[in-house]
Amino acid sequence: AQKVTQAQTEISVVEKEDVTLDCVYETRDTTYYLFWYKQPPSGELVFLIRRNSFDEQNEISGRYSWNFQKSTSSFNFTITASQVVDSAVYFCALRGGTYKYIFGTGTRLKVLA
Amino acid sequence: GAGVSQSPSNKVTEKGKDVELRCDPISGHTALYWYRQSLGQGLEFLIYFQGNSAPDKSGLPSDRFSAERTGGSVSTLTIQRTQQEDSAVYLCASSSRGGTGGYEQYFGPGTRLTVT
């Protein structure tokens, strides 16, 4: 069975703080793909990043960075120097050997000015 | 380019009425998904279309739900005899390929359905 766990339901930080959103996944597939999506208050999910199981290289995009560790089945997302515009619900998702995407329950991030 | 569009953006209907929700995927995207998101919850898979293949309807919650995709493009999700528990945001997503490739999905803005 495939599963994605986002244990943090809600996180509040003060602007300019760094924050890490955790994602732990379960799959028996050897080839799989991991994703992060952002859902701002407007409601539309926005694709942020995709990682393939055979590429454990971490990635940085501006203030965003992702840490993929197969040994711990984790794909964590860090926002550096958070801003109010980062306030949103963030979803981690997994796609294994089928076409189905398994989404976590999301982490609501509140960045306070 | 144009993203995934959905209509209507909001729909209020009386219990027992039928509703139709429309999704227009990104041009050229062969895979199309429908999800349901209840307030404060994650995404619940409903149905998957890939090209001209038979859809995977395994996520549809009851036989009151049906969906079709015409010409490999526009999709319509129909809910018959709506119930209050059908109230949710219905999201449509498309991706460039289906199969076993790990292609990211692009989501529409959703249709917020309220059954009174």
Q: Is the pLDDT assigned to residue B1 strictly greater than 70?
A: no
Instruction: For residue B101, give the DSSP letter.
Output: -
Which residue among B31, B42, B45 sits closest to A105, beta carbon to beta carbon?
B42
Q: Is the pLDDT assigned to residue B67 strictly greater than 70?
A: yes
Distance from the Cα of A82 to chain B's closest Cα (Å) equals 23
* List of E strands, B1-116: 5-7, 10-13, 19-24, 31-37, 44-50, 65-69, 75-79, 88-95, 106-107, 111-115
Pairwise CB contact (< 8 Å): B56 & A99: yes
Pairwise CB contact (< 8 Å): B31 & A99: yes
Sign of the CA dihedral with A51 first, then A53, A59, and A63 last: positive
Mean local confidence (pLDDT), A43-72:
91
Q: Is the pLDDT assigned to residue B99 strictly greater than 70?
A: no
> What is the model's pLDDT at position B101?
56
Percentage with pLDDT > 70 across chain B: 95
> What is the model's pLDDT at position B103?
82
> What is the model's pLDDT at position B52?
81
